[in-house]
Chains A and B, each alone.
Chain A
């Protein structure tokens, strides 16, 4: 008796976690600022193992952070900058309200800004750590560079992203590190090998599309802020590892420069440099211009535990890689207008080929379509006008398939108008016993040097997806009976309105006492009313959780019905207007 009694929730996991609102109050920041800080510093919410213990007995879903992480956040100097910014906004609003324009200018000139360099150094202490996380950064930067420059997110961010993506692509070209490309319905996936790390990123297609509404732009913008800084530093390091000048400059000797007059047509002077760089057609300047020296072949000694066989295998691999890097060397390509220029130029230059396009498409085209030394012309149309003799006219999928197969595939399968072979994914690794598509087998045979004997063509029978269509269609639950009822009521209303008008105009109503009409009880209507009532009863008796689910489903359905109705109405309006036009034309 009399021993110290332990109170619940005072030690253990309950004290290790803190809720989001508590953390926010501890830091004295607003919620968007707190979110931004967590994203920048890399502090993520945790799901505790025993939620009941941490939440002090309740199971309500809450966001938890580790208390130690939040304590670490307290020492961050950026927190002060956030508070300064808040005060700056307040002062600016006041100055605007009092229409003190000089104060507004003065405040704007001294706007508080912050830099994220120390955060990058803290989160990625070594260069290899940063390289591991560069996938995400690349995807974000490529994504943001395709945004339209409306005011939704800072235009400067978009410009910075564009600059960084162009620099990255130029680096990959200079280092010849691209390995795999995959064209999917979502975007283009690339994989490159940089300093031993495999880096995968996705680039969306250049066509403009509606941006989804559900995405939180502020969160994405904060991530992009962090990632642009990271990518910039990584780019600097990569460029210096290749002895290239950073920020990149075009190599002025050797390449034939486009004339000065034609440059004005493309871009302003300030932007023309970036545009030329983004054309990816010229090579970059080096820090120390080195003539091509033959590197002395180092003697290779087998490392411990390796036999001669393994070493030979490794050597063979390296040789293959070297051969792969020079896949398109010596070939001259010309891109037609309708093919995706940037992606193809990138891929071609990565493997040593030369590429050009029509002058009016983009800046930086080196040779014209009439050049006789062009070996391949990439076209995506069913037919082409003038045909030169000593060049192949092929579809763009040939390039991507060659890159994935690491050899030059036969061109015949990719001529204009020919049904293309399927574009296989290089990211899938088939194990023994799995299905390997025949095209891939053919490709592997080609790689080994054998020529395919009989081309087995499989009939691609495409089954009709009946089941799916039915499920994807909406089951409309409008009762037809209700429509009839509505019509009757509308007629009655009209009658009443007429009577009111007559009364208001002072005329006496022609109302007489007439014998009553027998209203026939509509059986079908009664039945449906009963059904509806039963349904209502059943809904009342459902449990809360089930009712919630039901509401969600009904809401989704109603929304679909509304949209379908809207589309139908639009179509109808369009048809009516067409009819009216036709009538007028006839008259």
Chain B
């Protein structure tokens, strides 16, 4: 309701507004009623009360006071009259205010100092003050001392004689001795060189064969990738024959429930044989008689004798087999040597490999190679391939200086809820 009234008022106040009744003007309609205001509210004190006359009077008074001494009234203030002394007796003199302890002594020292200063002698405290150096507050200490200040100074760090701060015993007792760096830390973590030059096929204007060599290597890398993909595809391949037909479904569901006579007969025959064999095996063994024991002992002795005889004859025969024994031993040694060499080569190759230092495996970067049609004819038309930044980063990982790292993903702690706007809800 108030909004409608406001709207009407605004419309009426527009210039050129025509009322239906020609006698009535827009101004009558607007100012017909005045809004009732509560003047007791603090909010409305400033808004709806007119204090202009009071302000004028006060301004007048203040102006008079500024220009003349006391303004309108020229009487002295009552407070001033009260504070005046009305007794005719003079107040007593405060002797202590005039007394100064040590006045004579101080006067004498001051005179002495003056005489000395006149002669040019400067007292000790002043001398020390003058010797103090001025603090340099203009230069920004931190900027010049920062490690990456472009104007920083370098000095001969290896040529200086070791600054002997003190005796080693003293340094140790005062805990100022620097700890020695362990020797193991000076070993390089990898045998690879710091900068690996690209193969000759990577030249901007390469020789034909070396370029083909490089392409072949890249080709092999791609082949390996394709192999992995093919393997996955094969795993996902599905045999049509394995689809469940109605017959197989029925058989599965009905397994064990339905008794079919044909199959039972077939199963009976093999079952019986099995039972008999089982029965035979469970038969209890009779106790061994003395004779059986003796017989067994004699057999054992004979066996042993035979074996010893055999061994003896073998040893004798080995004399004649020396040559073949030699060759077999040689072969064994050769194989062990080959194996040792292979193992050593593997170890060396392993050393050159990047170690597994963390969660992620080392991913070598893509080979930088330009196809035959991408090769530039001149240095001006060359389009660089690969980035040195990535190359350096990967080289640091390869040399085991840092662990392979991946860009940190943005993980939300709380799930995001998707809500449609009301307007869209009506549509869909």
Q: Which residues of A are at the interface with B, using a C-beta cutoff of 8 A? A: 35, 39, 42-47, 61-63, 66, 68-69, 72, 75, 108-118, 120-123, 126-127, 130, 133, 135-136, 139-140, 143, 154, 156-157, 159-160, 163, 182-187, 189, 200-202, 204-205, 207, 209, 211-216, 219-220, 223, 225, 228-229, 232-233, 235-237, 240, 246, 338-340, 380-381, 395-397, 419-420, 422-425, 427-428, 435, 437, 439, 458, 460, 462-463, 465, 467-468, 471-472, 497, 500, 504, 531, 534-535, 537-539, 542, 546, 549-550, 553
- In the complex, 19 of the A-B residue pairs with CB atoms within 8 angstroms, ordered by the A residue number, are A39-B401, A45-B403, A72-B185, A136-B195, A140-B392, A160-B150, A163-B150, A184-B204, A185-B203, A186-B385, A189-B195, A212-B387, A215-B393, A233-B157, A236-B155, A439-B207, A465-B371, A468-B218, A539-B236
Q: Which of B374-393 contact A (CB under 8 A)?
A: 377-380, 382, 384-393
The residue among A62, A187, A422, A546 with the most chain B CB atoms within 10 A of its own CB is A422
The reply to whether B203 and A47 contact each other, CB–CB distance below 8 Å, is no
- B358 part of interface (Cβ distance < 8 Å): yes
Q: How far is the CA of A157 from the CA of B146 in the complex (A)?
A: 11
The residue among B148, B152, B181 with the most chain A CB atoms within 10 A of its own CB is B148
Q: Which of B183-228 contact A (CB under 8 A)?
A: 184-186, 189, 193-195, 197-200, 202-210, 212, 215, 218-219, 222-223, 226, 228
The residue among B152, B199, B212 with the most chain A CB atoms within 10 A of its own CB is B152
Contacts of B140 in A (CB 8 A): 109
Determine which of B182, B370, B403, B406 lies in contact with A72 in the assembled complex, contact meaning CB atoms within 8 Å.
B182
Closest 7 A/B residue pairs (Cβ): A425-B200, A159-B150, A47-B355, A135-B194, A422-B207, A232-B154, A204-B388
Determine which of B215, B385, B390 lies in contact with A212 in the assembled complex, contact meaning CB atoms within 8 Å.
B390
Query: Shortest distance in angstroms between B202's beta carbon and chain A's nearest beta carbon?
Result: 5
Q: How far is the CA of A126 from the CA of B229 in the complex (A)?
A: 52
Contacts of B147 in A (CB 8 A): 113-116, 225, 228-229
The reply to whether A538 and B236 contact each other, CB–CB distance below 8 Å, is yes
Determine which of B355, B379, B389, B427 lies in contact with A220 in the assembled complex, contact meaning CB atoms within 8 Å.
B389
Determine which of A123, A205, A465 lies in contact with B372 in the assembled complex, contact meaning CB atoms within 8 Å.
A465
- B149 part of interface (Cβ distance < 8 Å): yes
The reply to whether B154 and A184 contact each other, CB–CB distance below 8 Å, is no
Contacts of A235 in B (CB 8 A): 154
Contacts of A340 in B (CB 8 A): 379
The reply to whether B385 and A185 contact each other, CB–CB distance below 8 Å, is yes
Q: How far is the CA of A468 from the CA of B222 in the complex (A)?
A: 8
Nearest-neighbor residue (CB-CB) of B381 within chain A:
A380
Contacts of A108 in B (CB 8 A): 142
Q: How far is the CA of A135 from the CA of B210 in the complex (A)?
A: 26
The reply to whether B401 and A186 contact each other, CB–CB distance below 8 Å, is no
What total of A-B pairs shows CB separation below 8 Å?
278
Q: How far is the CA of A471 from the CA of B225 in the complex (A)?
A: 10
Q: How far is the CA of A115 from the CA of B147 in the complex (A)?
A: 6
The reply to whether A113 and B142 contact each other, CB–CB distance below 8 Å, is yes
Q: How far is the CA of A66 from the CA of B384 in the complex (A)?
A: 41
Nearest-neighbor residue (CB-CB) of B160 within chain A:
A121
Contacts of A157 in B (CB 8 A): 148
Q: How far is the CA of A422 from the CA of B202 in the complex (A)?
A: 11
The reply to whether B238 and A127 contact each other, CB–CB distance below 8 Å, is no
The reply to whether B407 and A117 contact each other, CB–CB distance below 8 Å, is no
Q: How far is the CA of A186 from the CA of B382 in the complex (A)?
A: 10
Q: Which residues of B are at the interface with A, using a C-beta cutoff of 8 A? A: 140-142, 145-150, 152, 154-159, 178-179, 181-182, 184-186, 189, 193-195, 197-200, 202-210, 212, 215, 218-219, 222-223, 226, 228-229, 232, 235-238, 355-359, 368-372, 377-380, 382, 384-393, 396, 400-403, 405-407, 426-427
The reply to whether A220 and B205 contact each other, CB–CB distance below 8 Å, is no
Q: How far is the CA of A135 from the CA of B193 in the complex (A)?
A: 9
Once A135-B194, A437-B209 are accepted as A-B contacts, the answer to whether A228 and B148 lie under 8 Å apart by CB is yes
Contacts of A425 in B (CB 8 A): 197-200, 202-203, 210
Nearest-neighbor residue (CB-CB) of B150 within chain A:
A159
Query: Shortest distance in angstroms between A240's beta carbon and chain B's nearest beta carbon?
Result: 7
The reply to whether A216 and B182 contact each other, CB–CB distance below 8 Å, is no
Contacts of A69 in B (CB 8 A): 182, 184-185
The reply to whether A201 and B207 contact each other, CB–CB distance below 8 Å, is no
Q: How far is the CA of A154 from the CA of B147 in the complex (A)?
A: 11
Contacts of B159 in A (CB 8 A): 237
Once A44-B189, A220-B393, A534-B238 are accepted as A-B contacts, the answer to whether A160 and B386 lie under 8 Å apart by CB is no
Once A233-B154, A424-B203 are accepted as A-B contacts, the answer to whether A139 and B148 lie under 8 Å apart by CB is no
Contacts of B222 in A (CB 8 A): 468, 471-472
Nearest-neighbor residue (CB-CB) of A155 within chain B:
B150
The reply to whether B149 and A223 contact each other, CB–CB distance below 8 Å, is no
Contacts of B207 in A (CB 8 A): 422, 424, 437, 439
The reply to whether B145 and A113 contact each other, CB–CB distance below 8 Å, is yes
Determine which of A42, A61, A154, A201 lies in contact with B195 in the assembled complex, contact meaning CB atoms within 8 Å.
A201
Query: Shortest distance in angstroms between A402's beta carbon and chain B's nearest beta carbon?
Result: 15
The reply to whether A546 and B209 contact each other, CB–CB distance below 8 Å, is no
Q: How far is the CA of A424 from the CA of B211 in the complex (A)?
A: 11
The reply to whether A437 and B427 contact each other, CB–CB distance below 8 Å, is no
Contacts of A126 in B (CB 8 A): 158
The reply to whether B205 and A63 contact each other, CB–CB distance below 8 Å, is no
Q: How far is the CA of A449 from the CA of B20 in the complex (A)?
A: 117
Query: Shortest distance in angstroms between B216's beta carbon and chain A's nearest beta carbon?
Result: 10
The reply to whether B203 and A184 contact each other, CB–CB distance below 8 Å, is yes
Q: How far is the CA of A135 from the CA of B392 in the complex (A)?
A: 11
Once A465-B371, A538-B235, A549-B228 are accepted as A-B contacts, the answer to whether A185 and B382 lie under 8 Å apart by CB is yes
Contacts of A553 in B (CB 8 A): 228-229, 232
Q: How far is the CA of A504 from the CA of B158 in the complex (A)?
A: 89
Q: How far is the CA of A140 from the CA of B358 in the complex (A)?
A: 24
The residue among A205, A396, A539 with the most chain B CB atoms within 10 A of its own CB is A205
Q: How far is the CA of A47 from the CA of B190 in the complex (A)?
A: 12
Determine which of A122, A471, A537 lies in contact with B226 in the assembled complex, contact meaning CB atoms within 8 Å.
A471
Contacts of B215 in A (CB 8 A): 465, 468
Q: How far is the CA of A127 from the CA of B159 in the complex (A)?
A: 9
Contacts of A121 in B (CB 8 A): 157-158
Nearest-neighbor residue (CB-CB) of A216 within chain B:
B405
Q: How far is the CA of A420 from the CA of B207 in the complex (A)?
A: 11
The reply to whether B392 and A220 contact each other, CB–CB distance below 8 Å, is yes
Contacts of A213 in B (CB 8 A): 407
Q: How far is the CA of A204 from the CA of B392 in the complex (A)?
A: 11
The reply to whether A205 and B384 contact each other, CB–CB distance below 8 Å, is yes
Contacts of A537 in B (CB 8 A): 238
Nearest-neighbor residue (CB-CB) of B405 within chain A:
A216
Once A42-B185, A534-B238 are accepted as A-B contacts, the answer to whether A156 and B232 lie under 8 Å apart by CB is no
